[in-house]
Amino acid sequence: MDSSNDGKVEMFFLPWIVQRGHMIPAIDTARVFAAHGAKVTIITTPGYAQLFQKSIERDQSLGHEISFHTFKLPTAEFGLPEGCENLLAGSLGMMEKLCLAIQKLQQPIEQFIRERRPDCIVSDMFHPWTADVGARLAVPRFLLYVTGLFSLCCEESLRRYTPQDKVNSEAESFALPGLPDDNIVFTKSKIPYWFTKKGTGYGQFADNIIESELKSYGIIINSFYDLEPAYAEYFKNEMGRKLWLVGPVCLFNNAAEEKAERGEKNSIDEGTILKWLDSKQPKSVIYVSFGSQSSMVPEQFLELAHALEASGCPFIWVARDMSEYGQDEKEKKEGSENRGKKLPEGFEDRVTKSGQGTCNTGGFLTHSGWNSVIEGIGAGVPMITWPLIADQFFNESLVVDVLKIGIRVGNEKWSSYIWEPKMSVTREKVEAAVKWLMGGGSDEVEEMRRRVKELSEKAKKAANPGGSSNADIIALINELKSRRPICANNL
């Protein structure tokens, strides 16, 4: 253990590079531990190291011991373009090839761990093999989840009690047994397919993740105790996991440039957006974003555009290059001249000239990815939820049913990573939800704003010195220090 002489705990972080929603919180978590005195090495690819280099150099200038150790993906071996390291660089059809290329890095990464012997490995859930590596090398492995506790507890209920197997249709409702709240209700159409079609596809890999979780020394979660206290207790006591809550890690980024460096470059510069926001009334703007992964079919994209314009509400809509939204092979060949046809005729000119949109936030229309939810809570903004994939319907239930800081837009179907070629939500539903949340005046909306503002203050308190997440970070580092003589005897 290289850092044993100076007393610093040495931590290796192994993020999942394929998806930004996994990579960004992993980098933030690594930086938080480095800021608390750990010696941190982030194992990743050259492209990601370059993307986050400015943030790491800024930390290094503050005296934090944090750095990258990179391994180049064997892209050519699997027919991938040079530099393709994530799904943003290509189509979803590349997922299998990317995963195979990443598997090729397992042996060199294990060798690197063997040579350096860190105090622990902090690994994304998509690297379940690191649990066995940790066991072989007597190095504690922590599983880093980039979701919240509520969704993990919901999944545990589905595994333990299989209520989804006791209904007769996709639309029939069922309660999730055993949870702290007895009002958590789902349908089969809203849960991931691997809970209804067991032993196939991703379901087998999901089982590997749970096996690796049980083999791990503990679990690190980007959440905070006061956000979901009953589920923290359920996770520790009912599920028997050792748990450290270290979030919201996004709050570690205080400077504007730090926040801007965490994602893709925008087509509109930050100054223009802030100037536009300053021209609006407080809490009058709704922020619209569906994350970096899901693709929206053109018909749904068009319906959303019509709804936002019809609402009359000022908005900031973070829309990826429209060529990504349902673009087929014919459209790809036709190139950029076909791209603008995804929006209503004259849409951009009208909303820009009227000052209604640019594509002091008072609402967030979100796909309910965990990063978006926890950042929305950190900002104290109520949400309109439009879940699509992965854990997002569970996150919606937390926001709407448990925390009561949002409303559903009305999507009823879990849709994997590619939207089905039909509309799931009409413009009327979207317009009504936006008007209800942003119209102001109702006691229900004001109470929602009060609750999310209170949670925002609790989030900041948790992340600051003396807070619960801050204490968990310090406790984990101290526990790793206390294990050193034990680890040394096992080598």
Q: Could you tell me the CA-to-CA distances from 102 to 17, 72, 167, 239, 385 in Å, in that order?
A: 9, 9, 39, 31, 33
**Cα(139)–Cα(29) distance, integer angstroms:** 19
Neighbours of 7 (CB within 10 A): 10
What the block records as the tokens of 241 is: 């996991």
Going from the C-alpha of 334 to that of each of 41, 323, 325, 331, 338, the distances in angstroms are: 44, 11, 15, 5, 7
Query: How many alpha carbons fall within 13 Å on the CB side of residue 156?
Result: 21
**25: preceding bond cis by omega (within 30 degrees):** no
| Closest C-alpha among 373, 456, 480 to residue 33 | 480
Q: Is 2 a catalytic residue?
A: no
437 phi/psi in degrees, rounded to 5: -70, -40
In the numeric block, the tokens 């006791």 are attached to 166
Q: What backbone phi and psi angles, to 5 degrees, belong to 220?
A: -110, 130
Q: Catalytic residue at 22?
A: yes
Q: DSSP secondary-structure letter at 5?
A: T
Query: Which residues have CB under 8 Å from 55's CB, separation 6+?
Result: 27, 31, 258, 261, 262
- Looking from the CA of 292 toward its CB, the CA atoms found within 13 Å total 20
Q: Which of 28, 59, 124, 472 is catalytic?
A: 124
The answer for residues whose C-beta is within 8 angstroms of residue 286's C-beta and 6 or more apart is: 311, 313, 314, 315, 316, 361, 362, 363, 364, 365, 384, 434, 437, 438
Which one is catalytic: 22, 64, 127, 367? 22
Active site residues: 22, 124
